[in-house]
Amino acid sequence: MVQNGTTSPATGSWLNPNPWLVLFSSLVLAVIALAVRYIAGEDVVPLRAFLIFGSMLAAIGAVSLRLQSASWDFDERTYSSALVVGAALIGIVNYLAMAPPESDSLRWDSLRLAVRVFVVVGFAGSALILLPRVFQRIVISLLLIFHFAGILSAVTSVAPPNSTAPWISIQMWTRIFRPYLYFTYLTNAYHFYSPDPGPATLLWFYVKFEDGTGEWYRLAEKKDFSTRQEYQRMLAITESTNQVSSQMPPDNVWDAKVLARKNAGNFNKEQIPISRDYALNTQYREPNIQSRDLTASYAQYVANHYHSQKDPDLKVTTVKVYRVIHIIVNGDSLAEGIEPWDPTLYLPYYHGEFDREGNMVDPRSPFLYWLIHTEAKPKPETPARYAGKRPPSKYLDYIDYWQKHAETTGPDPVKD
């Protein structure tokens, strides 16, 4: 049957209960939940949660049953609108039933937000049902334009390389569309592999134990995960720390940082020089505040959940975090025998040492946010034809300065 209001045996759901009875049962559940809230207080939260959930489910069910079987006649639409209003009012009762104690205004706050949205949509929908068809289509068309304008504001509010995002997009995104897009998770800009496909970001954790030893925990390696999905999730975690500030420190601060870095590397127990293979200003990458917060959270997780391979009962004291960029091997390098997993293609940037509570214990470390690289030196048996150029990986010895850094720096260096 065509759902434009004509009746036929084929309309409606396979279920045939009276929508008003279902709505009434929703109201009963909501009222009981409200009564439980004010009589029992915070003692029976699961019961209240079930009642509220059941009530909302019944309200949605009642609306669904009614709208599937209703016709286009004005009387029918009036009844439908009334039922939707009833469902919205029940939403308000449930909202009150979710009201937290005064001492904890944040309790269930995000779920109360969802119920508020349900109520608003309900009232708006009830008005829409009553409108004549032409006006219905006008209103829906306006909502469509709002929806896609919001999506386009998200798409265009990402700044292009070396420029700023359109001022109008930023204003529309921030002032108008942000709440709607965030609630519905439509915030993506769809800038996949752009402007250029980039290298993957990994996280290497150096976990230090109470007995003075340390172990590496590398995130993420394919072989450690049973499903591709889980591996992809962990890659998303590591990638989330790759948000670096585009602004370099002022010149006087930068000069002091470079000097401190050089001195720390030269006078450390094990020398940790600055790399000669990369420009100096690319060797310092200060993360933005979100990246720093995430790093701290991840370090806290590792500190509290990682167990030593040698003795699972050993307690973790601190965790050092390195954000590692895995450079993609060039075509010419691959052709010349440089393997995609060559150690020099991994660029670890030191992101700090954290305790079990996620607090950074070395915020003044001169190595903080600096590249701690791997150096490659040709082996003595390297064929002469590679003189003056980088030989294949099999002819190279590697010095992992990040390993030396992990073991010999910080408030509590690892014992020999």
Partner 1 sequence: MRQASPRNLETRISINPSTSRDSSPWHAWTRFWFSLGDPSTLGFMRICAGLMVLYVHLNYTGTLYAFFGKDAWYNLQMANEYRHNQPWWETPLEGWGQGHADEEDNDKKRELRQDEIEYRERWLGDPRYTLAKGTPTTSIWFHVTDPNWMMAVHIGVLITMALFTIGFCTRITAVLTWLAALSYIQRSWAILFGMDTMMNILLIYLMIGPSGAAFSVDSWLKRRRLAKEGHGLPPGIHPVPAPSVLANFATRLLQVHFCIIYLASATSKLQGSSWWSGTAIWGVAANWEFNPMDVSLYLQFVTFLAKHRLLWEIAMTSGVLFTLFVELGFPFLVWNRRIRPYMIMGSVMLHIGIGTIMGLATFSLMMLIMVMSFIPGSVTRWAVYGAWDWLRGLTPAQIEAEPAVASSGVLTLQKH
Nearest to 55 by CA among 89, 101, 100: 89
Q: How far apart are CA 268 and CA 261, in angstroms?
A: 11
For the record, the structure tokens of 230 come out as 């889980």
Nearest to 373 by CA among 352, 415, 403: 403
The answer to whether 298 contacts partner 1 (rule: CB under 8 A) is yes
The answer to whether 15 contacts partner 1 (rule: CB under 8 A) is yes
146, 210, 233, 280: residue in contact with partner 1 (rule CB under 8 A): 233
Closest CB to partner 1 among residues 139, 264: 139
The answer to whether 271 contacts partner 1 (rule: CB under 8 A) is no
For the record, the structure tokens of 188 come out as 């993506």
The answer to whether 415 contacts partner 1 (rule: CB under 8 A) is no
* CB-CB neighbours of 49 under 10 Å: 15
CB of 139 to partner 1, least distance (A): 12
The answer to whether 246 contacts partner 1 (rule: CB under 8 A) is no
CB of 186 to partner 1, least distance (A): 7
Closest CB to partner 1 among residues 331, 388: 331
CB of 228 to partner 1, least distance (A): 6
Residue type, 1: M
The answer to whether 103 contacts partner 1 (rule: CB under 8 A) is no
Closest CB to partner 1 among residues 151, 207: 151
39, 193, 387, 394: residue in contact with partner 1 (rule CB under 8 A): 193
The answer to whether 158 contacts partner 1 (rule: CB under 8 A) is yes
The answer to whether 196 contacts partner 1 (rule: CB under 8 A) is yes
41, 191, 216, 256: residue in contact with partner 1 (rule CB under 8 A): 191
**C-beta separation of 23 from 79 below 8 A:** no
Nearest to 358 by CA among 295, 290, 287: 295
Mark residues 46-85: x for contact with partner 1 by CB under 8 A, - for none.
Answer: x----------x--xx--x---x-----------------
The answer to whether 120 contacts partner 1 (rule: CB under 8 A) is no
The answer to whether 111 contacts partner 1 (rule: CB under 8 A) is yes
CB of 274 to partner 1, least distance (A): 26
The answer to whether 304 contacts partner 1 (rule: CB under 8 A) is yes
Closest CB to partner 1 among residues 155, 264: 155
Cα separation values, 385 from 186, 330, 381, 382, Å:
56, 21, 12, 8
Among the listed ranges 35-43, 78-86, 334-342, 381-389, the one in contact with partner 1 (CB under 8 A) is 334-342
Closest CB to partner 1 among residues 196, 313: 196
Q: How far apart are CA 35 and CA 26, in angstroms?
A: 14
For the record, the structure tokens of 81 come out as 């609108």
75, 102, 103, 222: residue in contact with partner 1 (rule CB under 8 A): 222
**Alpha carbon 25 to chain centroid, angstroms:** 39
17, 101, 132, 179: residue in contact with partner 1 (rule CB under 8 A): 179
